[in-house]
Chain A
Amino acid sequence: MRPFTALLAVALTVALLFLVIPVAAIFANTAPSDLIHSLGDASARDALRLSLETSLIALAVIVLVGTPTAYLLATRRFRGRSVAITLIELPLVLPPAVAGIALLASLGPQGIFGGHGPQLVLTTAGVVVALTFVSAPFYIRQAQESFAAVDPRLMEASRTLGAGEARTFWQVAVPVARAGLLAGGALALGRALGEFGATLMFAGSFRGVTQTVPLAIYERFATDFTGALALSAVLVAISGALLASVKLAGRRAFA
C-alpha cells in the first residue's frame, strides 16, 4: 500500500472507531433481556409513543410547507433569495438552548406573540413546534438541492408538451427528486426524534404530554441507568433503520 493510501486508511479507522464505539457500548453495557425488560415500563412506552407522534406530525408539517419552499428556492432567482436561504438554514447552527430561548421569546406567554392564540408552552403542540423549528432546515436544504439537481431540460420538455407549472412540479420535479426528498425527510425525522434542549425549555417535561424519549433518558440517567440505556438503544435502532432505508431508497431511485 502506498504511504498516502495508508494514511487515509488510518484516518478512516480512527473515524470509524471513534464514532462506532460509543454507540456499540450502549448495546454492550447491558444484557438484551434487561433492555427489553426496561421497555416494559409504562413511562418508557409513553415517551416512545409521544416521540413518534410528535416527530411524525412535525415531519408532516415540514414536508407540506417545506417542499414548495424548497422548489421555489431551487427554481426561481429573485432578490433576497440568498438571504432567505441563509435565514432558513440558521436553526441548523443554533444551539438547542438558543432555539428554546427563541421560541419562548416569540411564542412563550411573555413572548412577542405570546398573548394571542392558544398557549403552546408545556403542551404537546409546543413539542411539535420545537421539533419543527429545529428539524425543518434539514429537510428544506436537502429538498432544495434535489430540486436544483433536476435536469432543466426535463422540466422544459414537460412545459413544451403543454403541462402547466403545477403539473410539472407534481409529475416531473417531485418524482425525479424523490430520493433527495426522502433523504431530507429522514434527516429531519432523525433530528426531531433526538431533540432535547429546545423541547425542555419550551415544552417542559411531563410524562405522556411533553416528555419525549431524550427527556426520559435524561431523567432516568440519575436513577435507572439500565432504563436510560434501553431507551437509548431504541432510539439508535430507529435512527439506524431510518438511515438505512434512505440509503436503500436512494440506491433504488438512481438504479
Chain B
Amino acid sequence: MKRVLLVAVIALAGCGANDAHLTVSAAASLKQAFTAYQANDRYSFAGSDQLAAQIRAGARPDVFAAANTKLPDDLYAAGLVEKPKVFATNRLVMAVQPDSKIDALGDLGRPGVKIAMGSPDVPVGSYTRQVLGGLGPKLREAIMGNVRSNEPDVAGVVGKVTQGAVDAGFVYITDVRAANGRLKAVELPPPLEPQVAYAAAVVKGTKHPEAARRFVDGLPGASALSDAGFGRP
C-alpha cells in the first residue's frame, strides 16, 4: 500500500511540474537500460507483477514496461493501458560467481547447492519455472529442493548471488552484463530456453500522452537497450 501511495505521490508531483517528466513503472531488469534511455524521467523499478498490481489499485504512471507481454496485455484487456508494444527480448540464464564450478543446469540439483529465483508471480520467476518444467521430475524436484529464497524481483536474485548468499540464481543475461564482472552467466540448454519478450504501454489517463507515446515508440531498437544486452523484437 505504501508503494501505491508513493507512486501516486510521484505521479501527482509529476503533474504539478509542467516539464513533461514522465513517470515510468518498469521491470527491475530494465533499470540500467531505461536510465540510459531517458535519464530525466521518474522511474519506479520493481517486479512487473507488483507494478501491474499498483496500476490495478489506482496508481497512474505514464508508462508501464514489463518483463513479459502477459501483464501489459491483461491491463490492456482491463482497459487500463493503451495497446502494448513488444520492444525487446532478453535471455534467461543462470548467474553464478565468477569462480564458481557450476557450469550446467544439472549441477543445480546436487545436494548442498543453494539457489535463489524469482517468486512464481514475477516474470523472471515464471520463466524459471517454465524452464524447470521442461526437466525430468527427478532433477526438477532436486533443484526446487535447493531453492533458499523466492525473491520479489530479479534485483533480489542478483543481490543474493553477488553476496554469496546462494550459489546460483536465475536472472536475465542483461543482469549479468550489468553486474560488471561480479557475475558469470551459465547458459541454459537451448531447447529449454524460454521466449523472453518485454512489452510497454502508455497508461490511460496520462497527462502527457504524446511524450508517453514517444517514449514507448522509441524503445524498439534504442541503443540504450542494445548496449545493455537486450535483443530486438
Chain A residues packing against B (C-beta within 8 Å): 22, 104, 108-110, 114, 121-122, 200-201, 204-207, 209-211, 218-219, 221-223, 225
In the complex, the answer to whether B163 meets A108 with C-beta atoms within 8 Å is: yes
Q: Is the CB of B121 within 8 A of A223?
A: yes
Closest Cβ–Cβ distance, residue A20 to chain B (whole Å): 15
Q: Is residue B147 within 8 Å, beta carbon to beta carbon, of the partner chain? A: yes
Q: Given A200-B156, A219-B152, are A122 and B52 also a contact pair (CB < 8 Å)? A: no
- Interface of B with A (CB < 8 Å)? 1, 47, 49-50, 52-53, 57, 114, 116, 119, 121-122, 147-152, 156, 159-160, 163-166
CA separation between A156 and B86, bound complex, in Å?
78
Beyond A222-B50, A222-B52, A225-B53, whether A204 also contacts B165 by CB under 8 A is yes
11 contacts between A and B (CB under 8 A): A104-B165, A110-B163, A122-B148, A200-B156, A204-B156, A206-B148, A209-B148, A211-B150, A218-B50, A219-B119, A225-B53
Q: State the Cβ distance, A206 to closest chain B Cβ, in Å.
A: 5
A222 x B163 contact (CB < 8 A): no
Chain A residues within 8 Å of B52, by CB: 222
A122 engages B149 (CB within 8 Å):
yes
Q: A221 and B163: CB pair below 8 A?
A: no
Also in contact, A108 and B148, with CB within 8 A (given A201-B159, A225-B57): no
Interchain nearest-CB distance for A7 vs B (Å)? 27
Contact in complex: A109, B49 (CB < 8 Å) = no
The 8 closest A-B pairs by CB, nearest first: A204-B149, A109-B164, A222-B49, A121-B165, A222-B53, A122-B148, A110-B164, A223-B121
Interface centre among A104, A114, A205, A211 (most CB of B within 10 A): A205
Task: Indicate the member of B114, B156, B164, B166 with the most A CB atoms within 10 Å.
Answer: B164
Per the bound structure, the CA–CA distance linking A219 and B53 in Å amounts to 11
15 new A-B contacts, CB < 8 A, other than A109-B164, A200-B151, A204-B151, are A22-B1, A104-B163, A108-B163, A108-B164, A109-B163, A121-B163, A122-B116, A122-B148, A122-B149, A122-B165, A204-B160, A205-B152, A222-B50, A223-B53, A225-B53
A121 — nearest CB in chain B belongs to which residue? Answer: B165
Please determine whether B149 and A222 come into contact, CB atoms closer than 8 angstroms: no
Instruction: Give Cα distance in the complex from A217 to B1, angstroms.
Output: 10
- The residue of chain A having its C-beta at the shortest distance from the C-beta of B150 within the complex is A205
Are B166 and A122 in contact, CB atoms less than 8 angstroms apart?
yes
Least Cβ–Cβ distance between A121 and chain B, in angstroms? 4
Output the nearest chain A residue to B3 by Cβ-Cβ distance. A221
Residues of A within 8 A of B163 (CB): 104, 108-110, 121
Closest to B119 in A: A219
Q: Chain B residues with Cβ under 8 A from A104's Cβ?
A: 163, 165
Docked-complex contact A206 and B149, CB < 8 angstroms: yes
A222-B1 in contact (CB<8A): no
Give Cα distance in the complex from A225 to B1, angstroms. Answer: 10
CA distance A121 to B162 in the complex (A): 13
Q: Which residue from chain A places its CB closest to the CB of B56 in the assembled complex?
A: A225
Which of B49, B114, B122, B165 has most A Cβ within 10 Å? B165
| Chain B minimum-CB-distance residue to A196 | B2
Complex formed: what's the CA distance from A109 to B162 in Å?
10
Query: Which residues of A lie under 8 Å from residue B159 when comparing CB positions?
Result: 201
| Chain B residues within 8 Å of A114, by CB | 164
Q: Please give, as numbers and ranges, the residues of chain A lying within 8 Å of B148 by CB-CB distance.
A: 122, 204, 206, 209
Known: A222-B47, A225-B53. A204 touches B164 (CB 8 A): no
Q: How far, in Å, is B111 (CB) from chain A's closest CB?
A: 16
Q: Which residue of B lies closest to A108 (CB)?
A: B163
